[in-house]
Amino acid sequence: MALNNVKNIFQNKRFLKIFSFFVAVALWLFVTSSRPVMRDEQVGIKVILPEDQSILDVSSPLEVQLRLKGARIYLQGIQVEYLRPVINLARPEYLGKNEIELALRHSDFYLPFGVSLVEFKPKIFKIRLDKKASKTVMIRPVYQNTIESGYKLVEQKLVPNEATIEGPKELLKNVEVLLTRPIDLTGPKGQGQFSVPLELLGDKVMIKSPALPEVNFQYDIRPISSNIEFKNVPIRYLFSNTKFHADHSFVNIKAFVSNRGEGFSASKIQIIADIPEGQKGDMWVELKSVLPPGMQLLELQPSKIFVRVK
């Protein structure tokens, strides 16, 4: 019974037409996917350097144009990064040489199954090596635009203010400072800080520290002139010992306020002298100010006082 059913199926003309179609498609796909085709790729050369050397110069970019041949099915699945030739300049035949002529061979390329290398170019690279060195340089800010009229940059600070760079010794000779990206001074007012990227020195000189190529820019931008003054503002002493003498008990303050109508008064200002505990004798103590919001300190007279602790 089952044999008769199979026989009937194969005698059915519609089934035979459908079956023939799928067989033809399968054969076509097999033929087209297995037929050799050409494919061009570009890969970079991975160079392993001795620990104490850096690349100073190359005759051309360390990149190679490849022409590959193989079945389409193999070329479609190829991973280009695995085609990169690896050249180890730490091998004995290269040690002690500053100028190396590197000649690539077919055997330097690792090809997957079913793929062949028809040609590649360029075949020769000239590489100049130099001793690797490190150097500590100062970081300088670069300013963009100008501060708004009526204001001035009273204080600025970069944290950190030094950087360690590493690269070919010959190139490092010409690097004396490291610059920041342009800092726009038109926006900030008062005291604050923000991160500023450092200008990179190309692909041969690396910034080793700070770990992130940026610094913290701390600024104090104040008005040039005051529009409010307070005289005889009392000093608050932070000290548990009552046996001390200070040469000043009051200070004069010059400040700038953005809105004169807010009713600022001396009672809202705190001037603090924090005398170190446990110390005796003569000393100078810096005064600290605590101002209400909207007020910027321009001048504190005096800014420090002389204290004698018994």
Of residues 241 and 248, the one with the higher pLDDT is: 248
pTM: 0.58
Cβ 84 vs Cβ 153: under 8 Å: no
Q: How many alpha carbons fall within 13 Å on the CB side of residue 237? A: 21
pLDDT at residue number 11: 53
Other Cβ atoms less than 10 A from the Cβ of 64: the count is 21
Q: What is the pLDDT of residues 206-233, one digit of tens each?
A: 999 999 999 999 998 877 766 788 899 9
Q: Is residue 264 scored above 80 in pLDDT?
A: no
pLDDT of residue 32: 52
pLDDT recorded at residue 37: 79
Q: What's residue 183's pLDDT?
A: 92
Confidence of residue 238 (pLDDT cuts 50, 70, 90): confident
Q: How far apart are CA 196 and CA 182, in angstroms?
A: 8
- pLDDT band of 12, cuts 50, 70, 90: low
Q: pLDDT for 113-131, tens place per residue? A: 778 888 988 989 898 989 9
pLDDT in tens, 15-58: 556 656 555 555 554 545 556 778 888 888 888 888 888 888 88
pLDDT tens, 152-207?
Answer: 888 899 999 999 999 999 999 989 999 999 999 887 777 889 999 999 998 889 99
The answer for residues whose C-beta is within 8 angstroms of residue 246's C-beta and 6 or more apart is 235, 237, 273, 285, 305, 306, 307, 308
pLDDT surpasses 60 at 111:
yes
Calpha distance 206→54 (Å, rounded): 11
